[in-house]
């Protein structure tokens, strides 16, 4: 996703198949979460997307992951400018950061 807008992204790699959960919160704006799976041919497809599923304005997505697959997590604003604090947490024993992404986030935490 590079539409010229403001967003943060980071990459995760799946070491084995399983389930992952990602939550995005902000006290400054209404966050939107998009998770893309990177395909072998270089294309990507959205595997999870959420706006307010984490309660209040928080975004939360639970999705299945496949071993050996790379995922890109994108956090932006559902509406307006995503200025201010942003927290991204992920909970999974099958995913780990792979160094890809454009991070505007001070810290991405594993829960």
State pTM to two decimals.
0.81
Render pLDDT for 88-99 as a digit per residue (tens, 0 to 9): 888 888 888 877
| Tokens (6 digits) for 52 | 């307010």
Percent helix, percent strand, percent coil in the chain, to nearest 5: 0, 50, 50
Per-residue confidence band for 19, with pLDDT thresholds at 50, 70 and 90: very high
Number of other residues whose CB lies within 10 A of the CB of residue 75: 25
Higher pLDDT, 100 or 39: 39
Q: Tell me the CA end-to-end span of the chain in Å, nearest whole number.
A: 25
Q: In the chain, pLDDT over 90 holds for what percent of residues? A: 37
Identify which of 79, 85, 80, 91 has the alpha carbon closest to the alpha carbon of residue 107: 85
Compute the distance between CA of residue 47 and CA of residue 64 in angstroms, rounded to an integer: 8
**Domains observed in the chain:** 8-105 (2.60.120.380)
Q: Mind listing the pLDDT tens digit for each residue in 28-52?
A: 888 999 999 999 998 999 999 999 8
């Amino acid at each position: 996703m590079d539409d010229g807008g403001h967003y943060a992204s980071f990459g995760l790699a799946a070491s084995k198949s399983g389930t992952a959960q990602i939550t995005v919160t902000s006290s400054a704006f209404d966050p939107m979460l998009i998770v893309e799976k990177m395909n072998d041919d270089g294309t990507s497809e959205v595997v999870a997307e959420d706006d307010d599923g984490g309660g209040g304005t928080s975004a939360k997505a639970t999705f299945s992951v496949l071993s050996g697959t790379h995922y890109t997590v994108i956090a932006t604003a559902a509406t307006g400018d995503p200025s201010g604090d942003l927290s991204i947490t992920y909970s999974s024993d099958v995913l780990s950061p792979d160094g890809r992404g454009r991070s505007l986030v001070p810290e991405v935490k594993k829960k």
